Amino acid sequence: MTVWLRVPNPVALFRGRYPESEPGTTWPQFKGANLAVLASDRFELHPWRLPPSRVVGRIAPGRDHRTSGRSILWRNLAGLDWRDFIEDLANRLPTANVYVTIDKDVLHPGEAVTNWNQGEMRIDHIADCLSALARRRRIVGLDVCGEFSPPRFRHWGKRILAHLDQPPPPRTHDPSVNDAANARLLDVLDVLGV
């Protein structure tokens, strides 16, 4: 559910789609979220599609959200022009060097299979993002995480936690889906010279 664009201080984080019933959208402070960082110019959280988050206390508005009462109203990327958004973000980064982490659970289930809630992004979205960054910044490193692994837990407590915290695993896992995603990402990186 995450694509990170990292520079020494500022971070832009893209989150995937959350089901409206997911408990993480209500009182995120109780799940360890540091919402004070949202008010800084050094961190942005850009969900693809996220309903308002109920919060405790006041949260300052930021580039990625506004507030209403005790809710954070997210600037969802699904409703924006993706290329305009990425061009703007790439232009705003305050450093020449960028490190990128791509977590494959931001991708649509048809493009990658992971152990987490899947997003709605397409590899074309990631390719657009990398292209915009490569035109304006130097990509000094990149990693991709989020491969599917069959859940296997030795301890019963871990099994319970995984059941509570993760979506049910796919009934069948076709490794060719992730193989195709990896090949497409490598092709994009090769074209960009990264």
Least confident window among 20-29, 112-121, 185-194: 20-29
User: Domains of the chain: which residue ranges?
Assistant: 2-192
User: How many C-beta neighbours within 10 Å does residue 143 have?
Assistant: 10
165, containing H or E segment: helix 156-165
**pLDDT at res. 145:** 87
**pLDDT at res. 149:** 78
Contacts with 24 (C-beta within 8 Å, 6 or more apart), sequence order? 18, 31
For the sheet with 138-145, list strands across it: 43-47, 11-15, 2-6, 97-103, 138-145
**pLDDT at res. 13:** 53
How would residue 172 be classed by pLDDT, with cut points 50, 70 and 90? low
In the numeric block, which tokens belong to residue 122? Answer: 């397409």
Nearest of 78, 79, 75, 184 to residue 130 by alpha carbon:
184
Least confident window among 20-29, 49-58, 73-82, 102-111: 20-29
Least confident window among 12-16, 33-37, 88-92: 12-16
How would residue 84 be classed by pLDDT, with cut points 50, 70 and 90? very high
90, containing H or E segment: helix 82-92
